[in-house]
Amino acid sequence: MVRLLLITSDTRQARALQESFAAKDAFVVNWRRSAGEVRTALVAGAFDACLFFDGADELTARTEIATIREAAPALPVVVLSSTGLSADSQAHLLEAGADSVCLLSAGLAGTTGVLQRLGRRAMRPAADPGEVSRFRREETGPAFQAPTLELLRGFSRVLGDSLDTRSLARHFVDKLREVVGASRIALFLDCVDNDSPLPGGKPAAPRLECVASAGLPSDLVECFSLSRQSGMGLRLSSRPEILRAERDSAASDPHIAREFEVLGGNVAIPVGDRDRILGVAVLGGRITGGGYSDQELLLVYHLLEELGLAVKNSRLHRQIVAGHELVGQMLEGLTVGAAAIGPDQRVIYANRALRNLLPGSPGADFTIHDLPAPLAARIHEVVEKGAEAPPFFHETTGAEPRCLRASVVPLAGAKSAARTALLLLEDFTPVRAAQKAELEAAGLRLTSLIARRFAHEIRNALVPLTTHAQLFDAEIGDAGFRDSLKGSLDTETRRILRFTEQMLLLARTDAGPTETLVLADVLRDAFDKALAGLGKTGELEISGAAQSARVAGCRAALIHAFQEIFFNGLQSSGEQGRRVFVSLEEAPDSGSRSVLVRVRDTGAGFAPEVAPRATEAFFTTRNTGVGLGLTIARRVVEAHSGALEVRSRRDPADCDLLICLPLAP
């Protein structure tokens, strides 16, 4: 990995170059506008190479290169130009200290290759195992000055002080430096910007950023990070152990040796949460000049492990808070009122919509007892007993009464003894108002339809009567006129009487007094009344094995129902050969005994498009009548726990109506 310092004052070009280099895993880019901003980091050797870009301004380029060379004489510097430079300009830049000059128009492939080669060349060679390191430690260092118990107390106060990762890390580093007396401490952690725990299976962050330090320059901390792909980050992520700068295993890796040198550290300790490595802590030597014993480093390792657990908990806490905030924002944006009620029957959360829907607008801290009694009672049942409460309606009173549809949903899990509930309130006031308006409109339409049908039927009955009334004085002495008047009076009176009976049966809610009846006798009486009402002749044929079947019901109502059925059949049969066929059969065993009545006349039957609507009120295909006959018949049959079905014939022998009635016990 090459730590690249990018210097340019062109913000747009800097971001483009950062994105280009970020796509290559071999580079970590730090952008600054001038070399003076990172002078301390340059002196410490924090970078492997420097890329300078500033258009065609040769003077600025030479000044910046001179500054870099003064702070870091061995640092490779590449100048990137957007336009072609003359041979003299290139010579001047190389003379000022640049190692190479590249053209931006030629692409970054050549530039990255140059930077990688120069960066590797600038890396310090691996230390000779026989060489005595300048970081040689003492075999036995002095023990901590503070007693162990007091030490743990101090760190427990730090770890319990904050849920913010960076603040917690800064307090921890200050306390650790106070205890161990380290000249320098740098704490690197991953995922600090997101500050949320990484789920299992998700790869760790590739970079470890310095979240807290002591004894290090701020500009070095800002631009220096560790990588999980090389150096300490790679080594400690794969093999968690304490690294010492003077040991062969650490000194032989040029990346680790370079990181120790830049940070001025002697020891690198992994920071974990017992599941994974979160980062690395780098400690310099003691301020007093001594080293660290194995017992001291082991104790620091365990303290850092507690820090890792605290960081994990902090991130979990932030994740939970973020989840709660998201749910709260979602509930607050709903137009439906929502409130969460805890096991103590206190309202944990209530959104704005719920407060607006409830009268009195409860305060910030309220219980279910502050809610209307019907709502409180249902919530109490759910919270105390875990009972399911079906949705119900609640009417509010006041200046603006509302109709609220309430739902109380239990939220407790299967393993939880404490129960919580969610109250949802939906304003159904507009819906109820619309339903009421629709019912009123439907009632008006029905009243209008009845009035039109009633007027039409009465007018038809009055036409022959008024005609005879006009001729009465002149024709009263004629015997034929008197017979015609008598016939009209008889016919039209029966028509008005039938219509009146239909309206009365339509308005009734019961079937009338119950008695046991022989169904065949009811059919014959109904057929005779139909013939009398029509004033015509006809025949009724009853067949089937259940001619002696008995049913329980109201005689008058059943006779009128079958009278309407027969009246419809006789009218459909035409003037010649009026015959109605009825078959009585006991229905197949279906749990309760019943009789099937099949009715067919000599007419054409019901058309396929007419059959589904034949029992609708006021539906008729004739010019006379109000269309209530089959409607009344179906209502009476259903009042006797039966069913009436209108069918369209597929075969000439098929029935027109199928009626099912329960047999008397």
- How is 281-326 classified by DSSP, letter by letter? EEE--BTTS----HHHHHHHHHHHHHHHHHHHHHHHHHHHHHHHHH
* Token couple for 173: 């580093």
pLDDT at 665: 81
**Which amino acid, one-letter code, is at 599?**
V
The beta-carbon contacts of 404-409 under 8 Å, at least 24 apart in sequence, are: 404/337, 404/357, 404/428, 406/375, 406/378, 408/378, 408/379, 408/381, 408/382, 409/382
CB-based burial of residue 226 (10 Å sphere; 0-12 exposed, 13-18 middle, 19+ buried)?
buried
pTM over the 0.75 mark:
no
Q: How many CB atoms lie within 10 A of CB 234?
A: 17
Q: Are 144 and 287 in contact (CB under 8 A)?
A: no
Q: At 519, is the pLDDT very low, low, confident or very high (cuts 50, 70, 90)?
A: very high
Write down the H helix ranges in 160-217: 165-180
CB-based burial of residue 162 (10 Å sphere; 0-12 exposed, 13-18 middle, 19+ buried)?
middle
Q: Are 101 and 79 in contact (CB under 8 A)?
A: yes
What distance in Å separates the CA atoms of residue 224 and residue 22, rounded to the nearest whole number?
16
Residues 263-273: what's their mean pLDDT? 91
Tell me the pLDDT tens digit for each residue of 566-577: 988 888 877 667
> Which residue shows structure tokens 């300048």?
134
Q: At 418, is the pLDDT very low, low, confident or very high (cuts 50, 70, 90)?
A: low
Q: Are 43 and 69 in contact (CB under 8 A)?
A: no
Q: Give the CA dihedral 431, 436, 438, 442, nearest 10 degrees.
A: 160
Q: Are 531 and 580 in contact (CB under 8 A)?
A: no
pLDDT at 280: 94
Tell me the pLDDT tens digit for each residue of 538-555: 889 999 988 899 999 989
Is the pLDDT assigned to residue 142 strictly greater than 50?
A: no
What is the number of helices (H) and of strands (E) in the chain?
19, 23
> Which residue shows structure tokens 């930077």?
115
Which CATH number describes the domain made up of 333-427?
A: 3.30.450.20
Q: How many CB atoms lie within 10 A of CB 30?
A: 20
Q: At 251, is the pLDDT very low, low, confident or very high (cuts 50, 70, 90)?
A: low
Highest mean pLDDT among 136-150, 184-198, 270-284, 440-454: 270-284
What distance in Å separates the CA atoms of residue 46 and residue 42, rounded to the nearest whole number?
6
Tell me the pLDDT tens digit for each residue of 308-358: 888 888 777 777 777 777 777 777 777 788 888 888 778 888 888 887 887
Residues 406-418: what's their mean pLDDT? 68
Which CATH number describes the domain made up of 148-319?
A: 3.30.450.40
Residues 254-261: what's their mean pLDDT? 89
Tell me the pLDDT tens digit for each residue of 5-51: 888 888 888 888 888 877 776 788 888 888 888 888 888 888 888 88
Write the DSSP symbol of residue 370: G
Residues 620-648: what's their mean pLDDT? 84
Residues 252-263: what's their mean pLDDT? 88
How many CA atoms lie less than 13 Å away from 315 in the CB half-sphere? 20
DSSP H/E element including 403: strand 403-410
- Residue 361: phi and psi, rounded to 5, are 45, 85
- Residue 367: phi and psi, rounded to 5, are -115, 180
pLDDT at 364: 57
Q: Are 245 and 266 in contact (CB under 8 A)?
A: yes
List the 277-283 sheet strands across, edge first. 226-227, 207-214, 185-189, 277-283, 267-272, 243-244
Write the DSSP symbol of residue 453: H
Tell me the pLDDT tens digit for each residue of 521-541: 999 999 998 888 777 788 899
Mean pLDDT, the chain, integer: 79
Which CATH number describes the domain made up of 508-662?
A: 3.30.565.10
Tell me the pLDDT tens digit for each residue of 580-620: 999 999 988 666 789 999 999 988 888 888 888 888 877 77
Greater confidence, 656 or 496?
656
Residues 55-79: what's their mean pLDDT? 83
- Residue 161: phi and psi, rounded to 5, are -85, -35
* Token couple for 537: 């002749």
Q: At 193, is the pLDDT very low, low, confident or very high (cuts 50, 70, 90)?
A: very low
The percentage of the chain sitting over the pLDDT mark of 70, rounded to a whole number, equals 81
- Give the contacts of 361 (CB within 8 A, at least 6 positions apart): 355
Nearest to 30 by CA among 97, 61, 41: 41
CA angle, 9 as apex, 3 and 11 as ends, to 5°? 85
What distance in Å separates the CA atoms of residue 531 and residue 663, rounded to the nearest whole number?
27
What distance in Å separates the CA atoms of residue 79 and residue 100, rounded to the nearest whole number?
6
Q: How many CB atoms lie within 10 A of CB 93?
A: 22
What distance in Å separates the CA atoms of residue 283 and residue 292, rounded to the nearest whole number?
10
pLDDT at 145: 47
CB-based burial of residue 590 (10 Å sphere; 0-12 exposed, 13-18 middle, 19+ buried)?
exposed
pLDDT at 412: 63
What distance in Å separates the CA atoms of residue 287 and residue 281, rounded to the nearest whole number?
17
Tell the CATH topology of 2-122.
Answer: Rossmann fold (3.40.50)
Q: Which residues pair with 279 in a beta bridge?
A: 189, 271
> Which residue shows structure tokens 């290759």?
113
Tell me the pLDDT tens digit for each residue of 448-481: 776 776 777 777 778 888 888 888 888 888 888 8
Tell me the pLDDT tens digit for each residue of 96-127: 888 888 877 656 666 777 777 776 655 554 44
Q: How many CB atoms lie within 10 A of CB 381?
A: 16
